[in-house]
Amino acid sequence: MPELPGAGMSLPGATLIAAEHVCVRFGADEVLHDISLKVDPGEIVTILGPNGSGKSTLLRALLGIIPVAEGRLMRQAGLRIGYVPQKLTIDRTMPITVRRFLSLPTRVSDLAADEVLARVGMAGQGAEQMTTLSGGQLQRILLARALLGRPQLLMLDEPTSGLDQPGEAAFYRLIEEVRHQTGAAVLMISHDLHVVMAASDRVICLNGHICCEGTPRVVSTAPEYRALFGLGTQGALALYRHEHDHAHEDGHPHHHHHEHDHA
Ligand SMILES: Nc1ncnc2c1ncn2[C@@H]1O[C@H](COP(=O)(O)OP(=O)(O)OP(=O)(O)O)[C@@H](O)[C@H]1O
Ligand SMILES: [Mg+2]
């Protein structure tokens, strides 16, 4: 693992992990510029941003997988992190049961496996083949594996990609439940503000730098957020704020202001 400036420096107080003025470069390319953030115990923080905005890079820098060019990273001494990367390296065609998968790379007891499967709503499904799982079930198993290390901080890189909206909403409810049961903080990445709204305490809007941050409601009205995601026909916000305040029953012709799609 590369030597990081400030990596492993322990934090005073309760804060789990923090970045101060962090820059990350790939060659001459500065992918992350002047990033400062922190995550406190029990918080659910969501990073939002368009493709290529540096979201995955930020998580990887926080984990110490890639070096930071400037700034410093700090984490609580002995912090246990459960990480689910955006791209999986498991071969989906390889026959392997859920139970076996949970024991990779670290063997776990049957009791621990049963417990964690129950926690993610997959009780009794340890004998299933990984290849037969639906997208939502697979995400639950990945979360289960991350939970086996009893993390104080979960880092999830787009955990709901590939899920439909009900699947996504159910997964975020599960994350909240896990936070409630285990007290773990969650730092996750998503593309959709409207679905993370309910499940996030704080949102960080990223585009190489931090454009804006705050509660989901504050971020949703921030001009920087609007500039990044737009409020036009496809805007996530337009979907979220979608309200039918006009009547359809009266039969009178009326003007519709449909600024959104029924996605
Ligand atoms: N190992 C690397 N070497 C060189 N460039 C990289 C590397 N990893 C990421 N990048 C570049 O850094 C930028 C940010 O990539 P990153 O994967 O962090 O974006 P992202 O916000 O997670 O995007 P997505 O929404 O598509 O997952 C991209 O331009 C990418 O090409
Ligand atoms: Mg990414």
- Label each residue of 43-65 as H, E or C: CEEEEECCCCCCHHHHHHHHHCC
166 and 121 share a domain?
A: no
**CATH classification at residue 173:** 3.40.50.300
Q: Ligand 1 pocket test: pick from 22, 32, 48, 57 the residue with the most ligand atoms within 8 Å of its Cβ.
A: 57
If you average pLDDT over residues 134-144, what whole number do you get? 91
In whole angstroms, what is the distance from residue 122 CA to residue 178 CA? 14
Query: Quick check: is 247 in a domain?
Result: no
Beta bridge partners of 30: 25
What residue type is assigned to position 256 of the chain? H
Q: What is the pTM of this model?
A: 0.83
- Structural domain including 211 reads 9-80+154-238
Please give the distance, rounded to the nearest whole angstrom, from the Cα atom of residue 192 to the centre of ligand 2: 13
Whether the per-residue pLDDT at 150 is higher than 90: the answer is: yes
Protein residue with its CA nearest to atom 17 in ligand 1: 56
168 and 229 share a domain?
A: yes
CA distances to 67, 95, 141, 157 from 173, rounded to whole Å, are 33, 30, 15, 17
Please give the distance, rounded to the nearest whole angstrom, from the Cα atom of residue 156 to the centre of ligand 2: 10
Whether the per-residue pLDDT at 183 is higher than 90: the answer is: yes
Q: What is the pLDDT of residue 42?
A: 94
Whether the per-residue pLDDT at 9 is higher than 90: the answer is: no
In whole angstroms, what is the distance from residue 259 CA to residue 193 CA? 17
